[in-house]
């Protein structure tokens, strides 16, 4: 898994506004609107505690402060605990936190202590990026391409199937692909198909996963994957609308999904 670096989180405030503008232009809704529509929830007076975690590669200097900024942007009250790890957890609960957010190198969770809902960033991110792709107002059909069927891609593919889209998917891992065929009924996508898509949900940790043969002119690519799967020259040549940022949209989805 690609780990976030402080550079990814620079200019967060500007990025949050740009995300909303982009989302509105593509779907007619801003990120809050998409989250409310997805989960049928609105923030109330939930207090979110963010706990720094030292395990594995340890603290990423801007991770928890960026999370706090995002939590507040989406209408929640939040605080970062003074201490990390178990001491931070004790502090969070003692201070009356309703929702706990924390991440080690493997999993990033939001847990609502009041209603017992818990979500991973993988699932919440997959669902919202897939949902954004599916809301593309200029889409020519209900055909949608999912690239990558790991934890993020699978969750997004599942959401799209449940939403009634014709989901095509590819993954170099044959077992992942077969699982999605068997459990979700997706159609395996093969580049020999010569089929082009106006909606693409990309969920891989790799660059250059999107090639010219896959996409229509003026398509939408929605991707949380770092690095971006869309080569810039293909994006320009095909006038692709691109939704991609490292953290905030997935975090909004996590929060709205547990309230």
> Look-up: residue for tokens 């891989």?
204
Q: Residue 73's binding partner, choosing from Mg ion, ligand 2YG, none, with beta-carbon cut-off 5 to 8 A by kind?
A: none
Among 60, 149, 214, 219, indicate the residue that binds ligand 2YG (CB under 6 A).
60
Q: Is 169 or 203 the residue whose CB approaches ligand 2YG more closely?
A: 203
Contact 82, 88 (CB under 8 A): yes
Contact 84, 59 (CB under 8 A): yes
Q: CB of residue 221 vs Mg ion: minimum separation in angstroms? A: 10
**In the numeric block, which tokens belong to residue 137?**
């107002």
Interacting residues with Mg ion (CB under 5 A)? 204, 225, 229
Length of the chain: 259
* Residue closest to ligand 2YG (Cβ): 4
103 binds ligand 2YG (CB under 6 A): yes
Torsion, CA 171, CA 172, CA 174, CA 178, rounded to 10: 10
Contact 31, 39 (CB under 8 A): no
Among 37, 59, 86, 190, indicate the residue that binds ligand 2YG (CB under 6 A).
59
Q: How far apart are CA 104 and CA 5, in angstroms?
A: 14
Question: Would strands 215-222 and 241-243 be described as parallel, antiparallel, or unpaired?
Answer: parallel
Q: Residue 80's binding partner, choosing from Mg ion, ligand 2YG, none, with beta-carbon cut-off 5 to 8 A by kind?
A: none
Q: Is 73 or 168 the residue whose CB approaches Mg ion more closely?
A: 168
Q: CB of residue 72 vs ligand 2YG: minimum separation in angstroms? A: 18
Q: How far apart are CA 241 and CA 133, in angstroms?
A: 10
Q: Is 139 or 258 the residue whose CB approaches ligand 2YG more closely?
A: 258
Site residues for ligand 2YG per CB under 6 A:
1, 3-4, 52-53, 59-60, 63-64, 103-105, 108, 121, 125, 224, 246-247, 250
């Amino acid at each position: 898994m690609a780990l976030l670096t402080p550079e990814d989180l620079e200019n967060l405030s500007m990025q949050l506004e740009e995300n909303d503008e982009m989302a509105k232009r593509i779907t007619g809704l801003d990120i809050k609107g998409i989250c409310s529509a997805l989960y049928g929830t609105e923030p109330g007076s939930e207090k979110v505690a963010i706990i720094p975690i030292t395990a594995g590669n340890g603290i990423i200097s801007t991770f928890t402060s960026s999370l706090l900024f995002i939590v507040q942007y989406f209408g929640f009250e939040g605080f970062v605990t003074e201490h990390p790890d178990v001491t931070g957890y004790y502090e969070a609960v003692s201070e009356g936190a309703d929702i706990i957010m924390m991440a080690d190198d493997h999993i990033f969770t939001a847990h609502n202590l009041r209603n017992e809902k818990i979500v991973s960033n993988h699932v919440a991110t997959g669902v919202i990026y897939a949902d954004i792709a599916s809301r593309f107002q200029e889409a020519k059909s209900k055909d949608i391409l999912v690239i990558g069927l790991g934890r993020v891609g699978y969750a997004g593919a599942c959401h799209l199937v449940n939403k009634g889209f014709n989901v095509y998917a590819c993954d170099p891992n044959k077992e992942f692909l077969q699982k999605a065929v068997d459990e979700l009924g997706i159609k395996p996508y093969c580049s020999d198909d010569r089929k082009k898509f106006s909606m693409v949900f990309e969920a891989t940790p790799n660059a250059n996963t999107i090639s010219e043969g896959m996409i229509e002119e003026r398509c939408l690519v929605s991707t949380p994957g770092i690095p971006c799967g869309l080569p810039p020259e293909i994006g320009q040549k095909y006038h692709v609308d691109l939704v991609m940022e490292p953290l905030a949209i997935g975090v909004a989805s996590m929060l709205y999904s547990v309230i």
